[in-house]
Amino acid sequence: MGALDGKRAIVTGGASGIGRATVELFAAEGAAVVIADVNVASATQLAEAITRAGGRAIALACDVTRSEDCRRAVEAAVHSFGGLDIVFNNAGIVRRADVVETTEEEWARVMAVNVTSVFLMSKHAIPVMAGGGGGAIVNAGSGWGLKGGDRAASYCASKGAVVNLTRAMAIDHGPQNIRVNCICPGDTDTGMLREEARQLGQDEAVFLAGSAERPLARIGMPADIARGVLFLVSDAAGWVTGTTLVVDGGGLA
């Protein structure tokens, strides 16, 4: 028996990085998964691999900044799997710049992908979850949603917003048996982290080596974060809501 047997999930940004690792883990634990991503080709390849392995997954082209796309993701879960129990609002982007360097367009884009997407997907998912007796939502925060960071003004602001939005949602929807929590990763070996090195004009290998400077002396891997998400959506966290789980190898400490 898997920890998520019979559960139906949506993972945004599920075709790569932390999202992909979470999709794979959810499927291995028995969940049926909608892989919602702008990169539908990669999402489709992942869904096909999961299906060949005996799991259940479908791919969906989804721009999480568009309400209609988020609504379609929820409808896809209901149509394909019969309901919706879990949402991992994982999709995100980063812009490494201070407030002077950041353009208004960049600020708006980071806020749209990192914060508005959480609002939109949850807005469409919560009524379905409530109608089915409850569910679990995990929002992707960051260590930099709990403390400041250099040359990342829009990213820090967006992740701080996600952390407090999580608390507000947990208060509002707890009576509907919907738990809402936030996962706050530290530096994790993903394409987005490597993109940060490029934006800062730093050597990628040097940048990643610096990211390992924390008590556990290594950079995070997507599977590390996925296991934290699994805990938060599983019955093991049945009395956990409105909290932030920091998974960062001790970096914030």
Which amino acids are annotated catalytic?
155
Decide if 47 contacts 24 (C-beta within 8 A): no
Distance CA 233, CA 229 (A): 6
- CA contacts within 13 A on the Cβ side of 231: 13
Distance CA 107, CA 53 (A): 41
